[in-house]
A and B are shown apart, each in its own frame.
Chain A
Amino acid sequence: MIESLDLGMVNWARGQFALTAMYHWIFVPLTLGLSWILAFYHTIYVRTGNEEWKRLTKFWMKLFGINFAIGVATGLILEFEFGTNWANYSWMVGDIFGAPLAIEGIFAFFLEATFFAVMFFGWNRVSKGFHLFATWMVAVGSSLSAVWILVANAWMQYPVGQAFNPETARFEMQNFLEVAFSPYAVNKFTHATSSSMLVGALFVLSISSWYLLRGRHVLMAKRSIVVAATLGIFASVFTIFNGDESAYEIAQVQPMKLAAFEGLWEGEQNAGLVAFGIVNPEKKVYDTRDPFLGFNLHIPRLLGLMANRSLDSYVPGMRDLVYGNPEQDLLGAVQKMDRGKKAVASLEAFKEARKAGDQAAADTHLASFNQYKEFLGYGYLQRPEEAVPPVALSFYAFHIMVGLGTLFPLIFLAYLYFAKKGTLADRKWLLGFGTITYFLALIASQAGWVVAEVGRQPWTIQGLLPVTVARTNLTTATVQTTFYMFLALFTLLLIAEISIMVKQISIGPEEN
C-alpha cells in the first residue's frame, strides 16, 4: 500500500488542503457570526419601524453579501478535494464521512441559498415578516452548515460509531447517532460557532470604531457597537468555557495533540500549564534537551486540572506516548505499531486466503485481525517518532489562540462601559486598538484550526488512517500545479474582495 509512497506528494496535498481551508476560513467565521448579528439588527428594525435601523441593517448586509460570495467560492473546492486529493480516504471512510456532507447540502446549503436571495432582494417583494424570517433562516442555515461539517471533522478526530469491514476493506458506519451526537462534535460545534460570533462582533466593532474615529456615521456606529459588543461578551464567555471542554475532550481522546500543543515531552503528575515559552526547535522526542529556550512561565497544576478535571492526575507527555510507559499503563506508538503490523499482515493474509478459496485459513486470519484491528492505522507508520505532530506550530497556534481569546471579553467590556458612560467617542486609544481587533480575531480563529488539524498529524482519521495512506495516487507535479493555481486564483479574489470591502466601508451606509 505504501511501497510507492511519495512523501513530497502527500505534503503538497496537505499544503493544498491547508491553503484552501485557510482561505475559506477567512470568510466563513464572519458569515457565521455576522448572520446572527444581522438577524438581531433586522429584528430591531422590524420591531421599532425606525428607518435608521433599516439603513444600518442594509449596510452590514451588503458587507455580508460580498464576504458570503467569496466564502461560497472557496468552499466549493473543499468538498471535492476529499475526492480529488484524498481518494483513498474517500473510499475507506466514505461510508461514514459522506453522510454529514450530503446532509449539510440538503438541509443547510439550500436554506442559505434560498433565503439569501430573499434577505437581499426581498425588501419590497415580500412581507416584512417573511423578510425578517428569511434573515433568520440565513443565520440558521449557516449554523446548520457548521453543525454538519463539524460533525464530519469531529469524526476524523474521534472516530466513533464505525467498524472496519475486512470484506470490503473499508470502515463502515455502525451507529449514525453516535457519529452525529459525539461529544467531540458537540464541543467542536459550540466552540466554532461561538468563536465565529466573536469574529462577527469584532468585525462590526472594528469598522464602527473607525467611523467613530473619523466622526462619520456616529449614531449608526454606536448602535452597531452596543448590539455587537453585548453579543460579543456572551460569545466570549461561552467560547472560553467550551474551549476548556474541548481541551478536556482532546486530553481524553487525543493525548498526543494535547502534549504537542503544550510542549509536554515528559509525562507529569500535577503538570503546569505553559503561560509563556519559546519552544526549542532542536528538541526530539528521544533526546534530553530542554523543551524550552530561556525563560518560560508555567501556571502550576493547571494542565492536570484542564486535562483530567482532577488535581493529582497524570498527564502523559510525548515520550510516554511514543515509547510507552508501563508504570502508567500506557501503550506507546512502539507497542501500537507492533500490533498494527500484525493487523495489516492478517488482513492481507485474509484477502489472499479468500482469493484462494481457503475458508479455514481465512477464518484464522480474520480472528487474528480482529484481535489487533484497533491498531490498524499504526501498522502503516514507518517509525514510532512519526506519531508526534509538529510541536512548535501546534504550541504557538494554541497559545496565540488562548491569549487572544482571553483578551476579547475585556475589549467588549471596555466598549460597553464607555458606551454606557457616553464617552466612547472620546476614547481614541480604545477605538484605535478596536479597529484592528477583527484581524486579531481572524488570527485566533485560524490558529484554532491549526491546533485541531496540525495537532492530529500524522493522522487523517485519528489512530486509524495516516495521511500517507489517505492520499490519491497523483504525481507531485500535478498537485503542485493545482496548489499554485489555487494560490494565484484565491489571492487574486481576496485582493478584489478586500478592495471592494474597503470601498464599501468608505462609502458607508446609504443616505436616506
Chain B
Amino acid sequence: MIENLDYATLQHLWWLLCSVVGALFLFLTFVQGGQSLLWQVAKTQTEKDLVINSLGRKWELTFTTLVLFGGALFASFPKFYSTSFGGAYWVWMLILFSFIVQAVSYEFRRKPWNVLGSLVYEGFLLINGTVGILLIGAAVGTFYTGANFQLDGNNFVTWTHPYRGLEAALSPSVSSIFNIALGLFLVFNARTLGAMYLVNNIDLNEAADMGTRLRAACWQNFLISLPFLLLILGSILFMRGYGIVDDAGTVEIISFKFLRNLVANPWLILLLAGGLALVIAGVWKTARTSETGGIWYGGLGTVLVGLTVLLLPAYNLTAFYPSKADPQSSLTIYNASSSPYTLKVMTYVALGIPFVLAYIAYVWWAMGRSKITIEDTGDRTAY
C-alpha cells in the first residue's frame, strides 16, 4: 500500500507526522511548565523535592520528543532543517542551550559536591521552562509571519537579518508581537499543564498546601494564557499569508490566507474547537474540583490545538516557512521534502511508532500507579 502512495500524499502524510510529534511535544512541555512553577508552588524543601522528583520521571520523554521532532524534520523536510537551523542560527542556539542546562539539572541538583549549588540548577530549570519555550513559540510563529532568508540556485541559505532568527521576537514589528504572543501562550499553557500533571502525579495528601497552590496556579495561568490565545486566533483570521498560486510553484502573498485555509479544511476548525474545549475541561477539573485527571483532558486538548497550529500554515497550498526577503525562496511541503523514495522508506519505519507509543503508555501507567510520596524523595537515587 505504501508503495502506491503518490508524492503529494507522502508529503502531506509526513507533514502530519512531524506535526503530531510537535503537538505531542507541546503536551509534554508540562515538564517545562512544572519547572517554571517550582519556586511559586513549592515553599519548603520537601515540596520542592516532590515537584522535582515527579517531573524528573518524565523530563527525558519531553527532551526525546524534541530531538525526534528535529530528526523527523531532517529526514522528511531537509530543506527546512538546513534553512531554519542554519539561517535562524541564534534562536535555535539559545533554545538548545536552555535544553542542555536542563538535561543535567535533575541529576545534579541535590547531589553533594555539585559545584554550582542547587539554586543554580533550579535556575537552569526555570530558564528552560520560560526562555526555552518562549523562543520555541517565537520560532513556530514565523511559520505564520515569515522569516528573512534567501536560497540560491543550490538551495543554500543566506539569512538577510543580522539578528539571525532572534528578530522573530526582537524586531519592532507586528510580526514580533504575534510571535511573542505565541511564545507566551506556550509558556503559560505549559504552566497550566504543569500544574495539572503535578496534581495528578504527586500524593498531595502529604502536601495539602501545595495541592491548593497547584490548583490555584492552574486556574491563574490558564487565565493569563487566554488573552495571548485570543490575540493569536484573532490575528490568524485576518492575516495575510504566502500561498502557491500556479503549477510552477510560484509563491505570492494572499490576503486572509489562513481564514481561507480554515474554510477549505473545516475539520481544522473542529480540531481547534475540540482541543480548546478539552483544555478548558482539564482546567475546570483541576482548578474547580478535587479530581486529579485534568491532565488527560488538558494534554489531549493541547495536542489537538498544537496540531491545528502546525497544519494550518502548511496544508492547502500554503508556504509553511515563508521568506519575507524573497517569496520565491519560501518553503512549501512540496519543495522542501525528501525524495519520494526516502519518504516511502520512512513511512515503513513510521509503522513502528504505535508500538513505541504503546510501551511508553504502559510504562507511564505502571510507574504512575502509586503517586510520588515524600518517601520517594528520600532515596539516595532520588533527584
Q: Chain A residues in contact with chain B, CB under 8 A?
A: 1, 58, 61-62, 65-66, 68-70, 72-74, 76-77, 79-80, 82-92, 94-99, 101-107, 109-118, 120-122, 125-126, 130, 134, 165, 168-170, 172-174, 176, 351, 472-474, 478, 482, 485, 489, 492-493, 495-497, 499-500, 502-504, 507, 510
Question: Is B68 within 8 A of A91, CB to CB?
Answer: no
A-B pairs with beta carbons under 8 A, tally: 259
B230 CB contacts on chain A under 8 angstroms: none
Nearest chain A CB to B100 CB, angstrom units? 5
Assess the B345–A109 pair: CB atoms within 8 A. Answer: no
Query: A504 with B111: in contact, given A84-B85, A90-B78 (CB under 8 Å)?
Result: yes
Q: Which residues of the other chain, B, contact A499 by a CB distance below 8 angstroms?
A: 113-115
Q: Least Cβ distance of B336 to chain A in Å?
A: 10
Nearest-neighbor residue (CB-CB) of B335 within chain A: A168
Q: Which residues of chain B from 52 to 94 have any CB-CB distance to chain A below 8 Å in the complex?
A: 57-58, 60-61, 63-64, 67-68, 70-72, 74-76, 78-79, 81-87, 89, 92-93
Assess the B342–A73 pair: CB atoms within 8 A. no
Taking the closest CB of chain A, its distance from the CB of B164, in whole angstroms, is 7
Known: A87-B85, A110-B356, A122-B367. A173 touches B345 (CB 8 A): yes
For the complex, give the distance between the alpha carbons of A492 and B154 in Å: 40
Question: Is B104 in the interface zone, CB < 8 Å from A?
Answer: yes
Min CB gap B107→A, angstroms = 4
Residues of B within 8 A of A172 (CB): 338-339, 341-342
| Residues of B close to A497: CB separation below 8 A | 104, 108
Q: In the assembled complex, how far is the CB of residue B293 from the closest CB belonging to chain A, in whole angstroms? A: 20
Whole-angstrom CA separation of A170 from B337 in the bound complex: 12
- Shortest C-beta distance, A73 to chain B (Å), equals 4
The 10 tightest CB contacts between A and B, nearest first, are A94-B78, A87-B86, A83-B85, A98-B75, A98-B74, A73-B103, A69-B107, A105-B68, A113-B60, A102-B75
Cα(A171)–Cα(B172), bound, Å: 40
Known A62-B381, A80-B96; contact A110-B104, beta-carbon cutoff 8 A: no
Complex CA distance for A86 and B87, rounded to whole angstroms: 11
CB-CB under 8 A from A101, the residues of chain B are 71, 74-75
Q: Pick the contact of A113 from B63, B92, B346 — CB < 8 Å? A: B63
| Docked-complex contact B367 and A118, CB < 8 angstroms | yes
CB distance from A56 to the nearest CB of B (A): 14
Q: Contact between A489 and B101 (Cβ–Cβ < 8 Å)?
A: yes
Q: CB-nearest residue of chain A relative to B158? A: A473
Please tell me if the beta carbons of A503 and B115 are within 8 angstroms of each other in the complex: no
Residue in contact with A99 in the complex, picked from B93, B164, B342, B381, CB distance below 8 Å = B342
Residue of B nearest to A94 (CB): B78
Q: Is the CB of B156 within 8 A of A117?
A: no
For A116, the chain B residues whose CB sits under 8 A away are 60
Which residues does chain A contribute within 8 Å of B76, judged by CB atoms? 98, 102
Given A82-B81, A116-B60, A503-B111, 12 other A-B contacts at CB below 8 A? A66-B107, A87-B82, A98-B75, A102-B346, A106-B68, A110-B68, A112-B64, A170-B78, A172-B341, A489-B97, A500-B108, A510-B380
Other-chain contact of A84, B86, B339, B352, B366 (Cβ < 8 Å): B86
On whether the beta carbons of B113 and A69 are closer than 8 Å, the reply is no
How many Å lie between the Cα of A109 and that of B360 in the bound state? Answer: 12
Contact status A62-B380, CB under 8 Å: yes
Tell me whether A105 and B96 are in contact in the complex, defined as CB-CB below 8 angstroms, given that A91-B156, A125-B369 are known contacts. no
Residues of B with C-beta under 8 A to A92: 154
The reply to whether A95 and B85 form a contact with Cβ atoms under 8 Å apart is: no
Tell whether, in the assembled complex, residue B72 and residue A105 are in contact, meaning their CB atoms are under 8 Å apart: yes
- Please tell me which one of the listed residues B87, B116, B353 contacts residue A496 in the complex, with CB atoms under 8 A apart: B116
Q: List 16 A-B contacts (CB under 8 A).
A: A73-B103, A77-B96, A82-B74, A91-B78, A91-B81, A98-B75, A102-B71, A102-B75, A107-B356, A113-B60, A117-B60, A118-B367, A134-B363, A351-B153, A485-B97, A503-B113
B234 is an interface residue with CB less than 8 A from chain A: no
B356 touches A79 (CB 8 A): no
Given contacts A90-B82, A102-B71, A473-B158, contact A496 B104 (CB under 8 A): yes
Candidate in A72, A74, A92, A165 with the most chain B CB atoms within 10 angstroms: A72
Q: Chain A residues with Cβ under 8 A from B93's Cβ?
A: 84, 482, 485
CA distance A455 to B97 in the complex (A): 30
In the bound assembly, the distance between CA atoms of A365 and B344 in angstroms comes to: 31
A170 to B86 Cα, complex, angstroms? 17
| Assembled-state Cα–Cα distance A130/B381 (Å) | 19
B100 touches A109 (CB 8 A): no
With both beta carbons as reference points, the residue of chain B lying nearest to A73 in the complex is identified as B103
B141 smallest CB distance to A (angstroms): 19
Cβ contacts under 8 Å, A125 to chain B: 366-367, 369-370
User: Which residue of B has the minimal Cβ distance to A58?
Assistant: B381
CB-defined contacts of B63 to chain A, threshold 8 Å: 72, 76, 113
Q: Which of A90, A102, A117, A493 contacts B363 (CB 8 A)?
A: A117
User: Known contacts A76-B99, A88-B154; is A500 also within 8 Å of B113 by CB?
Assistant: yes
Q: Quick check: B100 and A500 within 8 Å, CB to CB?
A: no
Contact assessment for A94 and B81 in the assembled complex, using a CB-CB cutoff below 8 Å: yes
Once bound together, how far apart are the Cα atoms of A58 and B78, in whole Å? 42
Closest B residue, CB atoms, query A69: B107
Q: In whole angstroms, how far apart are the Cα atoms of A197 and B195 in the complex?
A: 42
- B74/A103 in contact, CB under 8 A: no
- B108 close to A496 (CB less than 8 A): yes
* Bound CA–CA A92/B81 (angstroms): 11
Instruction: Report the minimal beta-carbon distance from A5 to chain B, rounded to whole angstroms.
Output: 12
B87 lies within 8 A of A87 (CB): yes
| Distance (whole angstroms) from the CB of A342 to the closest CB of chain B | 18
Which one, A115, A118, A176, A496, contacts B114 given CB within 8 A?
A496
